[in-house]
Chain A
Amino acid sequence: MSSTAAIAIGSAHAEHHELGFWRTYIFSQDHKMIGRQFLFMALFMMAIGGLMAMLMRLDLAWPDTQFSFLRFFPQSVQNDSAITAATYNSTLTMHATIMIFFVVMPILVGCFGNFLIPLMIGARDMAFPKLNMLSFWVGAVAGVIMLSSYFVPGGPAAAGWTSYAPLSAVPIYTGVDWGQNLWCISIIVLGVSSLMGAINYITTIINMRTKGMYFFRMPLVIWALFITAILLLLALPVLTTALALLLFDRMGGTHFFLPAGGGEPILWQHLFWFFGHPEVYIMILPAMGIASEIIATFSRKPIFGYRAMVYAICAIAGLSWMVWGHHMFQSGMDPELGTGFMLSTMVIAVPSAIKTFNWLGTLYKGNIHYTTAMLNALSFVAMFVIGGLSGIFMACTPVDMYIHDTYFIVAHIHYVLFGGSLFGIFAGVTYWYPKMFGRMMNETLGKIHFWITFVAFNCTFFPMHILGMGGHMRRIYNPTQYDFLKPLEPINMFISISAFVLGSAQFIFLANMIWSYFKGEKASENPWNANTLEWSAPSPPGHGNWPGPIPAVYRGPYEYSSPESEADHLPQWQVVEHATAAAD
């Protein structure tokens, strides 16, 4: 019934499509434009976050060295053309904050969530288009607030993206005053943006699926975005609360996290990680969904164990609420509690393993096409396996005692967040680019970008495991201050050089996006011969997504190489005589 209503609204929209420049491109309520806006904002932020990473690697290879080009950066980034202890702490804080909150989340959730959900479930738009527009613009304001902290006295926040109190709660401890306040405010504002998005996604998916699009006919990326939206809805209020308390401590004279007034520093860590661990899965589940779509399409095979994949997503989401304590094994939390969290953390490996084995099963006896999107999706799987396996070391409490707060952890998070989420993003952008912009991305440039990124990524982050095993602490700006780290210096140098290659290679991706926008081969409706519903709409789809009625759905999303069809794909919307009866 709701889909009928959506059809009626959609055709009403289609009648007056003269919206003018502002309402089409800037204050757009169209889910596709909002998706693109999130993408552009995140790419801009990625340039800044990436630059911060380059500055950190520059410093770690040549600590306390003056570089004349650094003088072009604001005083909060460099001091007398060198990166100092204080600016290094701001730089690492802003790198992580920007990459997590303003790059990975906006692309995976903001861009793909907005762009794909209505198109893939068969809806004209989101349930609440105005709320959707507001969600983007509130997010953009949060970004402006975050970046403005570079220009206040004392510079941006310097207490790490985890902002452990009391370091973050008292200005004199970091020497940063307004930077940290703005950091809190920006993320509170961003939380409001994400909440609006989450409510919209959940409502849209529950109410606006087209005829025949049962829950168990939804593509896995929609399942992943659906579960991610639920996690966002439940996790973000916890972070917002914690940030508000931190702001009160900083500005209002309260002592929630300050022991001097009876507060408890570890309370911050409990609140932060109660949000923070679901957050980790918020940043990986959509990428898992993207990889599933692409691997099925280019293996020309149904996803192996579709239902097991759905249950695994739900299990990961459920367990993600019970593992936050594994970030706090050495924090002074009751060690017996540590044992409990070790057990729940070990258990969360199970659904992750299920997903990996099912991706392998999907490749088995497939007919694998090596497109750029497929290469990136396969790399997602391979890198996620390494990131997942290295997680077992730190799940084990006694081993974590040694590797906690070392580069082993830095290696692990980057295998999951760069090797996982970011390769998922490269795969997704390449795969849906034709639908987003109506043109194909250049395959040659795409493959050059992929191979350089793949090699440079592993050269950058794999050796960090070895640094960690050598006891190299994270978040130190000058490893040469420690005698026991001396043998590791050549590795640090090697990592930095690899990181510069990795950073530079991203310009190829950007160039490919820009070049393809103007010169790319025009995309047909279904350039990959894929099955899911978005490929039945024009490339790019107009306002209301389908010029005619919304297609109905007759089968699951992965009927590749089905015996029912001559071709190697059988789209969800295609009518086959005996299948029509089943849909009714």
Chain B
Amino acid sequence: MLEYMYFPHDVSTFGPQIDWLFSLIFWIVVITWLAVTITMAVFLVKYRSRPGRKAEYIEGNTRLEVIWTSATAVIMIVLALMSRSTWAEVKENGPPGQVFYNVTAKQFNWEITYPGPDGKLGTKDDVTVENEMHVPVNQVVRIDLASKDVIHSFFVPNLRLKQDAVPGRVIKVWFEATKTGTYAIPCAELCGFGHSGMQGTLTVESEADFQKWLKDQYANANQ
């Protein structure tokens, strides 16, 4: 259903859960909206003013009041509890990673730092590339997200992932992409006059292609 509403196709492991929650809320909302709007429309036509009619003197109904209050409360609280586990999975813990990057936002680019040939981040042989993020498909990618100046927001619509990058903080982000392809990484938080147009690309590729690309980067860095 969502693809008919311009949703970008999902390529992350947690995306289906988010889309499922979206659809669930969508149907709750549509049914509630139809119920309220149709009731309102019926009342508006049926009880329109006509000569000789007098309104009925009704001050309220405690039973109805209790029913619709508790029904709304139950639906809303259940919805919150159902959303909790997905949220915890994406933002609180997540699986242990295999691939580690630093992503540092600055006006108006994403700096992506890959571990060098020693496989470790934070050593001299690290390679930093602007706006080009390559990841192997079907592997957990863990990012340390930071910012050099103002708040930016790391947004990958196809991954359903968004996380602000805050100067002074390092925020842990993870995802696992399930389909190869290239996807946009726009900045989602107003970050200055270059905010519009600040974007990187996420390339999801096979392990072999990824290793090849990484080797090219090492070679470029040594030149």
Q: Tell whether, in the assembled complex, residue B162 and residue A166 are in contact, meaning their CB atoms are under 8 Å apart.
A: no
Min C-beta distance of B10 to chain A, whole Å: 10
| Contact residues of B between 59 and 96, Cβ < 8 Å to A | 59-61, 64-65, 68-69, 72-73, 76-77, 79-80, 83-84, 86-88, 90-92
Question: Interface SS of chain A: helix, strand, loop or mixed?
Answer: helix
Measured CB to CB, the nearest residue on chain B to A159 is B190
Q: Tell whether, in the assembled complex, residue B40 and residue A476 are in contact, meaning their CB atoms are under 8 Å apart.
A: no
Within 8 Å by CB of A368, from B44, B61, B162, B164, lies B44
Q: Tell whether, in the assembled complex, residue A405 and residue B6 are in contact, meaning their CB atoms are under 8 Å apart.
A: no
Q: Tell whether, in the assembled complex, residue B6 and residue A469 are in contact, meaning their CB atoms are under 8 Å apart.
A: yes
Q: Is A396 an interface residue (CB 8 A)?
A: yes
Q: Tell whether, in the assembled complex, residue A335 and residue B21 are in contact, meaning their CB atoms are under 8 Å apart.
A: no
Q: Is A259 an interface residue (CB 8 A)?
A: yes
A366–B192 CA distance with the chains assembled, in angstroms: 54
Q: Tell whether, in the assembled complex, residue B196 and residue A88 are in contact, meaning their CB atoms are under 8 Å apart.
A: yes
A343–B2 CA distance with the chains assembled, in angstroms: 26
Q: Tell whether, in the assembled complex, residue B190 and residue A173 are in contact, meaning their CB atoms are under 8 Å apart.
A: no
Q: How many contacting A-B pairs (Cβ < 8 A)?
A: 282
Measured CB to CB, the nearest residue on chain A to B28 is A392
Q: Is A360 an interface residue (CB 8 A)?
A: yes
A481–B76 CA distance with the chains assembled, in angstroms: 39
Question: Are A85 and B58 CB-contacts (below 8 A) given A349-B76, A402-B18?
Answer: no
A contact residues around B92 at 8 Å (CB): 335-336
Q: Is A274 an interface residue (CB 8 A)?
A: no
The contact size tier of chain B is 35 or more
Q: Tell whether, in the assembled complex, residue B55 and residue A330 are in contact, meaning their CB atoms are under 8 Å apart.
A: no
A contact residues around B188 at 8 Å (CB): 404-406, 473
| Contact residues of B between 148 and 201, Cβ < 8 Å to A | 149-151, 153, 155, 157, 160-164, 166-169, 171, 183-184, 186-197, 199
B contact residues around A563 at 8 Å (CB): 57
Within 8 Å by CB of B43, from A363, A385, A393, lies A363
| Contact residues of A between 354 and 372, Cβ < 8 Å to B | 354, 356-358, 360-361, 363-370
Question: Interface SS of chain B: helix, strand, loop or mixed?
Answer: mixed
Q: Is A525 an interface residue (CB 8 A)?
A: no
B contact residues around A305 at 8 Å (CB): 59-61, 65
A contact residues around B5 at 8 Å (CB): 466, 469-470
Min C-beta distance of A172 to chain B, whole Å: 9
Q: Tell whether, in the assembled complex, residue A361 and residue B60 are in contact, meaning their CB atoms are under 8 Å apart.
A: yes
A568–B44 CA distance with the chains assembled, in angstroms: 19
Q: Is A524 an interface residue (CB 8 A)?
A: no
Scoring B2, B73, B166, B196 by chain A CB atoms within 10 A of each residue's CB, the highest score goes to B196
B contact residues around A304 at 8 Å (CB): 58-61
Within 8 Å by CB of B47, from A173, A335, A365, A393, lies A365
Q: Is A174 an interface residue (CB 8 A)?
A: yes
Within 8 Å by CB of B194, from A85, A382, A467, lies A85
A364–B169 CA distance with the chains assembled, in angstroms: 55
Q: Tell whether, in the assembled complex, residue A332 and residue B164 are in contact, meaning their CB atoms are under 8 Å apart.
A: yes
B contact residues around A307 at 8 Å (CB): 60
Q: Tell whether, in the assembled complex, residue B18 and residue A164 are in contact, meaning their CB atoms are under 8 Å apart.
A: no
Q: Tell whether, in the assembled complex, residue A259 and residue B167 are in contact, meaning their CB atoms are under 8 Å apart.
A: yes
Measured CB to CB, the nearest residue on chain A to B30 is A389
B-contact 0/1 string along A260-273, CB 8 Å cutoff? 10011110000000
Q: Tell whether, in the assembled complex, residue B162 and residue A402 are in contact, meaning their CB atoms are under 8 Å apart.
A: yes
B contact residues around A346 at 8 Å (CB): 76-77, 79-80
Q: Tell whether, in the assembled complex, residue A335 and residue B54 are in contact, meaning their CB atoms are under 8 Å apart.
A: no
Measured CB to CB, the nearest residue on chain A to B87 is A397
Min C-beta distance of B32 to chain A, whole Å: 6
Q: Tell whether, in the assembled complex, residue A363 and residue B160 are in contact, meaning their CB atoms are under 8 Å apart.
A: no
B contact residues around A301 at 8 Å (CB): 55-58
Q: Tell whether, in the assembled complex, residue B29 and residue A392 are in contact, meaning their CB atoms are under 8 Å apart.
A: yes
Measured CB to CB, the nearest residue on chain A to B43 is A363
Measured CB to CB, the nearest residue on chain B to A174 is B192
| Contact residues of A between 464 and 494, Cβ < 8 Å to B | 466-467, 469-471, 473, 475-478, 481-484, 487-488
Question: Are A259 and B47 CB-contacts (below 8 A) given A330-B153, A365-B55, A487-B6?
Answer: no
Scoring A174, A342, A358, A471 by chain B CB atoms within 10 A of each residue's CB, the highest score goes to A471
Q: Is B8 an interface residue (CB 8 A)?
A: yes
Scoring B14, B84, B169, B192 by chain A CB atoms within 10 A of each residue's CB, the highest score goes to B192
List 15 extra interface pairs beyond A392-B28, A401-B91, CB under 8 A: A85-B193, A350-B76, A354-B72, A366-B55, A367-B55, A368-B43, A396-B79, A397-B84, A401-B18, A405-B155, A469-B5, A473-B187, A475-B195, A478-B197, A561-B56
Q: Can you show 11 pairs from A to B with CB atoms below 8 A apart? A: A167-B191, A263-B168, A299-B55, A346-B79, A363-B47, A364-B58, A367-B49, A397-B83, A398-B18, A401-B160, A401-B161
The 4 A-B residue pairs with the shortest CB-CB distance, nearest first, are A259-B168, A471-B157, A470-B6, A305-B60
